[in-house]
Structure 1
Amino acid sequence: MDSHMIDSEIFGHQWASTESRAIFAEKARVTRWLEIVIALARAQAECGIIPTESAEKIAQLRGVELPIGEIGARTRETSHSTLGMIQVLRGMLPGEAAEHIYYGTTVQDITDTSQVIELLAVGALLWRDLWWIEDALLQLAVQHRLTPMAGRTHGQPGAPISFGFKVASWADEIGRHLQRLRDGHNRWRVGQLGGAVGTLAFFGDRALDLRAAFCRQLSLGEPDISWLCARDRLAEFSHVVAMSVSSLARIANEVYALQRREIGELAERTRASVVGSITMPHKRNPEVSEQIVTLARLVRSQASVLTDTMVNEHERDGRNWKVEWVAFPEICHFALAATTMARELVSGLEVNSVAMGRNLGANSSSERLLSAMSVRLGKHRAQRLLQDAYSQAREEQRDLSAVLHGVATEAELAELSHVNLGASGLMVDRVVDTALRRRASESEQWQ
């Protein structure tokens, strides 16, 4: 049965987390549906739609071990998404109570509400992990506020930056995802009770009172209108998840590149038992980093699928919300696997400041030299002279200072011996200060 990598005994740890499996396990799903059915019965009793006795009998089903196999068989027999479970539950109830379970409602009332509860559980874990990662990055940025390294553009060494500047950029981005999660919380935390086509006509003039009571039973917000075919909330959440994991992939991609032996500036923490290659014993592979990048690609792909589900026909379209049943859990499994790995990556990141200094090279001060010469010669003339000088130095394998002798002044040439980090440290300070002030007004719990 373990045909999907998520469920693999061998590889599953790379594609899901223990917590994501607990949320989306079939037993958990059925238990969640039962809780929603119980909440519905209680709300209906509160509104005088079914007898209180029936609601109490239905509530007594909580904690009952439901026969997954039998529910599956009845689902296949009826070809209905929830009727198999309802038939099993009816068989567990006495007399009139059996007639009052799942009373006047439809599949999406159960499955959409269940999906919202799943979203909230996943969002809370995502918030927790991003909160932790941001804190670790802020500390790392402060630690390396002025640790010089080569800034790179187009994959090539450019002007100097501090490693703290690079890390602060990562932290700043993670902070924005936390803000997006916070801002979307109440928008996404809404129940679904719409009945056949969303109008709740079955319940007459008690419809909206019932919906309010139902949402209150589950501690969910009440929507203004049924959202059977309005799938933007789930699509939005999925894209926030995709963006968050993509930011983690940006970090991982940097570690992947900077761990290359010829660069050697960063490295993943490893264990003695980890084998990089069974044919090349010298290798130490960035396994965690590359897996985070892989997971981010899959999350982005499935988020795109969930954007497609926003295009529906009329008041109900099973072609779309059934797609969500597959795509949404996969997004969540992959995302929580990625955040788990990112925590491991950040907490054990090895920083080689010696290699960073070595890799700055002789060209690291070209921007400052250009700035100094521009005052005297004009920016464009100075840029052309320096470009020609650097090219000549490379081709003739000569020292740049010798090539520039007579072209640049001694004061200008002195810039070549300085590592100028610009405003790196000040920008680190701003990122850290802004993040700490924002975090002081927030909680470690998503709310």
Structure 2
Amino acid sequence: MGAHLIDSRIFGHQWTTPESRALFDEPARVARWLEIVITLAEAQAECGVIPAESALAIGQLRGAVLPIEEIARRTRETSHSTLGMIQVLRERLAGAAAEHVYYGTTVQDVTDTAQALEIRATCSLLWRDWRQIESDMLALALQHRATPMPGRTHGQPGAPIAFGFKVATWADELGRHLQRLRQGGERWMVGQLGGAVGTLAFFGERALPLRSAFCRRLGLRAPAVSWLSSRDCLAEFAHVVAMAVSSLARLANEVYALQRREIGELAEKTRSSTVGSITMPHKRNPEVSEQIVVLARLVRSHAAVLTDTMVQEHERDARGWKAEWVVLPELCHMALAATTMARELMAGLEVRTDAMRRNLDDNASSEHLLSVMALRLGKHRAQAVLNDAYRRARDEQLPLEQVLQGVASAQELAELPVIDLGASAAMVDAVVAATQRRRDAEPAEWA
């Protein structure tokens, strides 16, 4: 217990959530496999493949708590991924029902279908939390649609922006990920019933009706063709999640940078019990932001592995799909952890407007002055003149006002200082309006 950080009772809260643990822990996995086996039997009875009595007996196992240690022992003995569970199930069934459990199917039918159900549950949680984060972003963007702060390029202060403009870029980006998550469902929510090599030859003419009934009962779409070695949909899901979590990491990285004491424009909310350092009592570390960035890096690496599993051999290749058993749950754990942290970060974000204003120095008016002088000198000539003036003030440590008096007219200088936020507010309003239209047209729950 605790061999993996996800399972650690000390550090697990940084790598997973209670909801993702409940979704992916071993009892939940076995229960999911059992539900798939039962649903298959019920679909087989519906299509006349097995007797209704057998399906009824198998169905009575629904909700049973199976002995995981016994399943594990038999799995090691047989060296087969699901035979240990099947043996345990058969011992709980009498007569023909014991022969009809797991009838005509194979490991990948169960595990691939289980992965589709896991993705569905994960998407539901992500959808809920991403929409809440987006909602908080929209409110913050509107609140600060005209709050000035330094815009920065190359890590250096540039022209002014509204803080709401920065937040609107976060919301707009996250909104596109929500669209991708919704659009991907049609491709990802697909069941698997292919049998030995995907042809379903075991079931004869009942094969395709059986697959349709099986998927329908699980709330999944029936595929046009078995996807035993076609793994593109898993890779697509992974990359959509990786992109979204990376967008959350962009937000977190911004908080990390702007919380620096010498900048001090944003800060994470902390509890009174939080300790930044046991040797430097003054420290207040952006630990949540740091962890989101770490988790996003790992999610991206896991998405790359799931892309690699697309290269498979022939009609079944365990070298590919067994790697998914490790990588897909870890990706979901970490994506859900990062999302939960980002939700808390946004809900408690401290915005220090006084520091934002303080950090707007005399240089903040340079773009506005350039636009004014360009009317007289032409844009490129004005840029060269001002570039030289600001360089002289910096290198020779001269008062900026004194240097500018030598290159700009009195009328041009009369407009300074000015905080020109450009179209920041208008773009905030556009993002909020477009996002609200989209949200009004989409379901509150992922489907």
One-letter identity of the residue aligned with 1:183: Q
1:415 Cα deviation after fit: 3.6
Return the alpha-carbon distance in structure 2 between the equivalents of residues 179 and 217 of structure 1: 27
2: CA distance, partners of 1:410 / 1:175: 47
Q: Distance in 2 between matches of 1:69 and 1:414?
A: 81
Residue by residue over 1:276-295, the C-alpha shift from the partner in whole angstroms, topping out at 9 and shown as x without a partner, is: 00000000000100000000
Aligned to 1:297: 297
Contact 1:174 1:247 (8 Å CA) reproduced: yes
Mapping for residues 35-434 of structure 1, pairs under 5 Å? 35-434=35-434
What letter is aligned with 2:386?
L
1:437 deviation in Å? 0.5
Q: Distance in 2 between matches of 1:206 and 1:411?
A: 87
Distance (whole Å) between structure 1 residues aligned to residue 92 and residue 125 of structure 2: 35
Structure 2 SS opposite 1:417 = coil
Structure 1 residues not aligned, in runs of 5+:
none
Measured against aligned partners, the alpha-carbon deviations of 1:79-111 in whole angstroms (never above 9, x if no partner) come to: 000011001100110011000000001001000
**Counterpart of 2:152 in structure 1: which amino acid?**
R
Specify the code of the residue in structure 2 equivalent to 1:282.
H
- 2:121 alignment partner AA: A
1:56 to partner: Cα distance: 0.3
Deviations 1:357-398 (A, max 9, x none): 010111001111111111111111111111110011112222
Per-residue deviation at 1:145?
Answer: 0.3
String of CA shifts for 1:136-185, please: whole Å, max 9, x gaps.
00000000000000000000000000000000000000000000011111
Separation in 2, partners of 1:120, 1:219: 10
Q: Does the CA-based 8 Å contact 1:365-1:415 persist in structure 2? A: no
- Structure 1: distance between partners of 2:411 and 2:117: 66
Q: Determine if contact 1:366/1:416 at 8 Å carries over to the other structure.
A: no
Deviation per residue, 1:310-344 (Å, 9 max, x gap): 00001000000000000000000000000110011
How far apart in 2 are the matches of 1:47 and 1:82?
A: 24
- The percent of aligned pairs where both chains have the same amino acid is 72
Give how far 1:414 is off: 2.8
Question: What SS is found at the alignment partner of 2:363?
Answer: coil
Q: Is 1:130–1:339's contact at 8 Å kept on the other side of the alignment?
A: yes
Deviation, structure 1 residue 406: 3.5
1:63 and 1:206 map into 2 onto residues whose CA distance is: 28
The two structures, once aligned, show a CA RMSD in angstroms of 0.7
C-alpha separation in 2, matches of 1:372 and 1:399: 21
Q: CA deviation at 1:217?
A: 1.2
Deviation at 1:416, TM superposition (A): 2.9
Moved more, 398-407 or 73-82: 398-407
The residue type paired with residue 343 of structure 2 is R
Post-superposition Cα deviations, 1:384-431, rounded to whole Å, max 9, x if no partner, equal: 111110011112222222112242112221343110000000000000
| Secondary structure of 1:208's aligned partner | helix
Alpha-carbon shift at residue 298 of structure 1 (Å): 0.3
Question: CA separation in 2, counterparts of 1:289 and 1:391?
Answer: 36
CA deviation string 1:9-55 (max 9, x = no partner): 00000000000000001000000000000000001001111000000
Q: Whole-Å Cα distance in 1 between the matches of residues 379 and 219 of structure 2? A: 63
Q: Which amino acid aligns with 1:122?
A: T
SS in structure 1 at match of 2:220: coil
Q: CA deviation at 1:202?
A: 0.4
Task: Provide the rounded CA distance (Å) in 2 between the counterparts of 1:357 and 1:406.
Answer: 28
Query: 1:145–1:164: 8 Å Cα contact kept in structure 2?
Result: yes
Structure 2, gaps ≥5 residues long: none
TM-score, scaled relative to structure 1: 0.99
In structure 2, how many angstroms separate the alpha carbons of the residues matched to 1:336 and 1:412? 53
| Equivalent position SS for 1:33 | helix
SS in 1 for 2:149: strand
Q: Which deviates more, 66-75 or 374-383?
A: 374-383
CA deviation profile, 1:243-263 (whole Å, cap 9, x unmatched)? 010000000000000000000
In 2, the alpha carbon distance for the partners of 1:349 and 1:101 equals 54
SS in 1 for 2:405: coil
User: What SS does the aligned partner of 1:357 have?
Assistant: helix
C-alpha separation in 1, matches of 2:253 and 2:386:
33
The aligned amino acid for 2:112 is D
Aligned equivalents of 1:166, 1:287: Cα separation in 2: 22
Q: Structure 2 CA distance, aligned partners of 1:424 and 1:81? A: 57
Give the 3-state SS of the residue equivalent to 1:404 in structure 2: helix
Secondary structure in 1 matching 2:416: helix
**Aligned pair count?**
447
Aligned to 1:435: 435
Q: Can you list the C-alpha shifts for 1:188-247, whole angstroms capped at 9, x where unaligned? A: 111000000000000011100100111111111111000000001111001000001000
TM-score where L is the length of structure 2: 0.99
